Amino acid sequence: MQDAAPPPDRPDPPASRQGAVRRELGLALYALQFLTRIPVPAWVGHAPDMLARAARWYPAVGGLVGLAAGAVFAGASGLGLAPLAAAAAAIAVSMALTGALHEDGLADTLDGLGGGATRERALEIMRDSRIGAYGAAALIATLMLRAGALTGLGPAEGFAALVASHAAGRAAIVGALRFAGYARTEGKASAVAGGLARGTLAAALAIAAAICAAAAGLAGLAGLCVGLGAGALMLRRLVRRLGGYTGDGLGAVEQAAEIAALLALAILLVGP
């Protein structure tokens, strides 16, 4: 009698879980690498679809940037530094961590939208690394808005507002990726032009909501809603003018959402 065939190999459940955790950690680190200048381990690697799969972790990266900026703001305020100086230090830290990625995108986008009479001309201007009048004005205005919002907050409130607003800004990027298409045929953001996997936006919003609620309670959730609304308005403008988003356009969406959330939190977190 022939011996029965051995049962097919099955993955060991603990090993399988460890592999899934490692893959998810790799995606989170890939999101960190894409959105900041923080180095990540070489084992994270690169694949064409990783940017889209890592999108759910964008709000967590934003929360991490906000955590660093908030710590600087709270520490500087606690040491007796003037509110405006503490706010400037916090904003500088956030820009250093990201390489001013989103600010650069905002400036290029506003230059294109303001100076380009046609879609093609606007896209051409946005590729130019030089900053024009519209971009410079946008940077000055947004930096003043952020600094002004923070100067009215105490150390704890400013810390909370920075964490929540940065998470909200990155959540808005995921929304743009989900609801719009890419305006160019190639570019840095073209890797996600095929769309996001089912559930990615829901996961990103859940992470953003958890961070905002943990940082600032109901005010944090309200700030998230305001930020997402502002990001949606910026995206609507991009779609109408350019036919979709670009890498720079995603930076503009992030800035619109982050600043709107910060302004809302500056109002909600101030005591009566």
- For residue 8, what pLDDT is reported? 54
User: Which two structure tokens, joined as six digits, stand for 63?
Assistant: 């929360």
State the Cα–Cα distance between residues 265 and 232, nearest whole angstrom: 18
Q: Are 174 and 245 within 8 A, CB to CB? A: no
pLDDT at 84 over 80: yes
* Residue pLDDT, tens place only, 93-145: 999 999 999 999 999 999 999 988 899 999 999 998 899 999 999 999 999 99
- For residue 87, what pLDDT is reported? 98
| Domain residue ranges of the chain, discontinuous segments joined by + | 15-268
CA angle 171, 176, 178 (to 5 degrees): 95
- For residue 1, what pLDDT is reported? 44
User: Which two structure tokens, joined as six digits, stand for 168?
Assistant: 């909200």
Lowest-confidence region among 15-24, 40-49, 102-111, 213-222: 15-24
Q: Within the chain, where are the H helices?
A: 13-35, 50-53, 58-78, 83-98, 101-115, 119-127, 133-151, 155-179, 200-242, 247-268
The residue that leads in pLDDT, 148 or 5, is 148
What pTM did the predictor assign?
Answer: 0.90
What average pLDDT score do residues 187-196 get? 61
The residue that leads in pLDDT, 181 or 14, is 181
